[in-house]
Amino acid sequence: MKVGILGGGNVGGTLGAGWAGRGHEVMFGVRDPAAADMQAILRRCEGHARAAAPPDAAAFAEVIVNALPWDAAKKVLPSLNLRGKILLDATNPLLPQLAGLELGTTTSGAELVAKWADGARVVKIFNTTGFANMANPVYRGEPIPMLYCGDHPGAKATAAQLAAEIGFAPVDAGPLTNARLLSRSRSSGYGSQIWAA
């Protein structure tokens, strides 16, 4: 499968390396394909990935992962032709400095992403856990759940397949509006924060 990853940070890099290691063709869409951190990710992919500008990654891919920071997603997604593509949205609508959520419970980041990515088949997934779990989602021999939701059965099936391939136990959480209910728990030494999707 041809997979485009928008963003080359911890989440995008980990997912891309995971799929490249399982035989998928991966292209990262980033501002600077020659940047040292992007080149380090490509080395982890052992020749099964390359980097280009976001429009090139979008044109290349059958499935695209939005692993951009929220503010970048607002700008980049509307500029791309994503019509007919499967778009896996891994972004959380966080305020700067992780000060809270930009959105409440009357809509979700995924629903806005679906508007920005006109014509794409959006599935909310990979936003409920950290990148370390994406690298190895198995604990005591059991895969951890990965919740996903969307309105297109075929796109959801592809999302579930890609999640399972890297070790998750996919769980269908219903239509895209249920992205309002998905959350991410971020633990720290001082407790945890819950972030809506």
Task: For the chain, give percent helix, strand, coil, nearest 5.
Answer: 35, 25, 35
How far apart are the C-alpha atoms of 175 and 189, rounded to whole Å? 34
DSSP structure class, residue 79:
G
Task: Provide the residue-wise pLDDT of the chain in tens; the chain has 197 residues.
Answer: 999 999 999 999 999 999 999 999 999 999 999 999 999 999 999 889 999 999 999 999 999 999 999 889 999 999 999 999 999 999 887 666 555 555 656 678 888 899 999 999 999 999 988 888 899 898 999 999 999 999 999 999 999 999 999 999 999 999 998 888 775 433 322 222 333 34
148: three-class secondary structure by DSSP? strand
Question: pLDDT tens digits, residue range 42-100?
Answer: 999 988 999 999 999 999 999 999 999 988 999 999 999 999 999 999 988 766 655 55
Answer for the pair 86, 58: CB distance below 8 angstroms, yes or no: no
Q: Which residue do the tokens 């869409």 mark?
A: 29
How far apart are the C-alpha atoms of 91 and 146, rounded to whole Å? 14
pTM of the predicted model as reported, rounded to 2 decimal places: 0.87
Structural domains of the chain, with CATH: 2-196 (3.40.50.720)
How far apart are the C-alpha atoms of 65 and 15, rounded to whole Å? 9
